Structure 1
Amino acid sequence: MDTITIKAKGISVSVDLAVGHLADMVIDRDGRRLKPLHRAPWVGDISGTLPQDLPEGTVHLSGDFLCAPFSRSDVEAAPLHGWPANSAWDVVDSKATTDGWRAVFRLQRKVMGASVDKILTLRDDHPFLYQEHVFTGGSGAISVAHHPMTSMKDGGTLAFSPKRFAETPADPLEPDPSRGRFLLAYPARAADLTHFPASAGGTIDLTDYRMDQKREDFITLVEADHGGPGWTALARHAETDLVLVLKNPAELPITMLWVSNGGRDYAPWNGRHIGVLGIEDGRAAVGHAASIGDNWLKHEGVATAFVLGEGHNVSFRHVIGAVPRSSGQPPRDIATAQGRMRILAADDSVDDVAFDDGFLRIGQPAAM
């Protein structure tokens, strides 16, 4: 695997240049070494036993990657999640800065005629990766999403910035019981994330990731209007840490959760992809054609694509990080200001962490 690793004080990130996936992320903090990102168990398998028709993005499935479009590429021919998730990136620039490291990567292919850059920034003593993607030129419209994945040995507990509601699509990911299983009802909607309709009746708590629930589920959370960054916080029990994912809701108005816990029985999954949670912040519906056409999110006033065009750029930003946390519980709230992140616990204690609060451009319109 052709990778490049960038480093700042207390953090390093490795990029798989074959597909642009974040292959690894290591955070050293308070005497602990945290590894918040997931890597599929078959990555690096040289036995030749993987199915021949797998997209490269699945072969290399790791960490986080850019989806453009999200899900089906049914407008411009490309594999699942588009060329940014499945094809090579070049290193344009990678060098130390006065307070960390900055690297720029460029997709070798174009998306809807647009060139695509990935800009990764690390800052000394910040337990976060700051990333931006920039589309230059092109035509038409493109849906986008980040695809960060974490994994747990003993489950975890989730908390979120305010959401309007959560909704499942019309069909589950694995409707055939001979191939897999699911637990959520499809389609279904709920405003209370702790009581979402289950396929067998009753409800499931979306904030509680349980290892004994073998399933493959997908659900979309729509951000509420609250004036701050959108965030997801996952307190991983066995790992005793807090995984944090942040966005600007004006740019990425939805968060899609992919629960992959032994819910697929066919290769390469084979029931071994367990304890995985995708926290997928996006501006998308499921599939490129659906995203740029009529869809249920548009009916809710939610944007599902960026418009491309010659002579202007489209850009959006995203943050991934982690901090030690022994309580096993996610925060009650997160606030960012004056170069800090304040993580408020249920007992009103506060963890204060270095954070570039200007990076996400909260209060500004989506860059188009």
Structure 2
Amino acid sequence: MTATRTLSWPGGTVTVSSLGGMIGPAVFLLDNGRQVSPLHVAPWWNEPESRDLDGMHRNLRGEWPCVPFGYPVDRDTFPAEWKPALPVDDHVDYVHGYASNHNWTFLSVDGDAEVAMEINYPGEHPVRRLERRIRPSKGTGLEIDLKIDVRRNCSLPVALHWCFALPDVPGQAQLLPGGFSSGATYPASLAPGAELFAPGRSFSELSNVPARIGLATDATRLPFDRNVEELLQLNGTDGHFSLLNRHDAYRVDLTWPAATLPSVLLWYSNKGRQFAPWNGRNLCIGIEPCRSAFGMSPATCSQPNPLSESGVPTSLDLPTGKECTFTYSIQVSPL
């Protein structure tokens, strides 16, 4: 049974769900008196058919941690240089990890200044436990602590899966990445018929990404004016990323520890997936600080792969006896 907790303060109201530990919906009260809701909630979340989905897809919204991050891909669609890193019979029990698909337990806290929660992994899993604490920060923002405790030494891909709502009018939102050393397009097709970027290419500016048709496309202006389902990865980031929603006149600023999560995976879900439950209606941008190779499976990310061999870390070393703890944040402000 999914439970919720609500965090309310003068700068906003945020709902936290036990399923996946997900944040959302959220309303922030800006300095100019306007209320805005930047976090995405999947359009099928309350439909009867969603009961048959796995926990993550059923509750898809706002933000949650993915430990381990990723899922297997169809290796037959990937170029030859990737195949050695793609196991033939790859399998994960849960897309984006156990914690993304199961109920967390809310912890007792003093007062109502934060929401705390934990989840214990099955005994055979290398991860023992996750804990996170969510609290208001700087008026119209949130600060989040994540703690990872493992049973045995392991190296796993990890991500923070932010999903943001987009306006319906093309081009009315803008992505403003912080500094990054290089960008890479997805090596294959994420959703046949909804491609936009040339596969397996590098770039230095998000506004000038190699395109499948034509020379380049601006990947900062959203939503696109056509159905698109794509991934881009920015590597060597400085731990900052901003989203401007000009239609609703607000700005979102994200920060995270770049030493731990040096990359950002951008998930362009622009009504590209036509099968259920997506049905050509999901419109959001995923901004996902990570240590990963395009959200591919743990088996791929924890072994040598073309991205890691280029110098990009794709998994996080987690030793026993030393909890991995870090803090990240979101700030919402008027334009």
What letter is aligned with 2:179?
Answer: P
Structure 2 residue aligned with 1:93: 108
- Residue pairs, 1:28-47, within 5 angstroms: 28-30=29-31, 31-46=33-48
- Residue pairs, 1:157-172, within 5 angstroms: 157-172=174-189
- Residue pairs, 1:125-140, within 5 angstroms: 125-139=138-152, 140=154
What letter is aligned with 1:68?
Answer: V
Take 2:332 and 2:127, find their aligned partners in 1: how far apart are those partners? 36
Q: CA deviation at 1:76?
A: 8.1
Structure 1 residue aligned with 2:78: none
Structure 1 residue aligned with 2:287: 279
Take 2:91 and 2:210, find their aligned partners in 1: how far apart are those partners? 35
Q: CA deviation at 1:6?
A: 1.5
Query: Cα RMSD over matched residues?
Result: 2.0
Determine if the alignment matches structure 1 residue 206 to structure 2 residue 205: no
Q: Deviations over 1:319-349 (max 9, x none)?
A: 1231111xxxxxxxxxxxxxxxxxxxxxxxx
Please, which runs of 5 or more residues in structure 1 have no aligned partner?
326-368
Take 1:210 and 1:19, find their aligned partners in 2: how far apart are those partners? 27
CA contact (8 A) 1:230 1:249 kept: yes
Match of 2:133 among 104, 107, 119: 119
Q: Deviations over 1:210-241 (max 9, x none)?
A: 341320010100125xxxx5211111121111
TM-score w.r.t. structure 1 length? 0.79
CA contact (8 A) 2:166 2:223 kept: no
Q: CA deviation at 1:102?
A: 2.3
Q: Deviations over 1:239-280 (max 9, x none)?
A: 111122111210110011001111011100111112x10000
Take 1:167 and 1:323, find their aligned partners in 2: how far apart are those partners? 30
Q: CA deviation at 1:309?
A: 3.1
CA contact (8 A) 2:135 2:144 kept: yes
TM-score w.r.t. structure 2 length? 0.86
Structure 2 residue aligned with 1:264: 273
Structure 2 residue aligned with 1:216: 229
Take 1:51 and 1:147, find their aligned partners in 2: how far apart are those partners? 22
Q: Deviations over 1:274-312 (max 9, x none)?
A: 2x1000001122220122100233223332222233321
Determine if the alignment matches structure 1 residue 67 to structure 2 residue 84: no
Structure 2 residue aligned with 1:23: 24
Paired-residue identity, %: 26
What letter is aligned with 1:314?
Answer: C
Q: Which moved more, 1:87-96 or 1:299-308?
A: 299-308
Q: CA deviation at 1:4?
A: 0.7
Q: Which moved more, 1:197-206 or 1:81-90?
A: 197-206
Determine if the alignment matches structure 1 residue 142 to structure 2 residue 141: no
The structure with more strand, counted as a fraction of residues: 1
Take 2:98 and 2:8, find their aligned partners in 1: how far apart are those partners? 26
CA contact (8 A) 1:51 1:268 kept: no
SS for the counterpart of 1:38 is: coil
Q: CA deviation at 1:157?
A: 1.1
Please, which runs of 5 or more residues in structure 2 have no aligned partner?
73-86
Which runs of 4 or more aligned residues in structure 1 lie more than 4 Å from their structure 2 counterparts after TM superposition?
73-77
Structure 2 CA distance for partners of 1:115 and 1:211, relative to 1, 3 Å:
same
SS for the counterpart of 2:181 is: strand
CA contact (8 A) 1:134 1:315 kept: yes
The structure with more helix, counted as a fraction of residues: 2
Take 1:76 and 1:14, find their aligned partners in 2: how far apart are those partners? 32
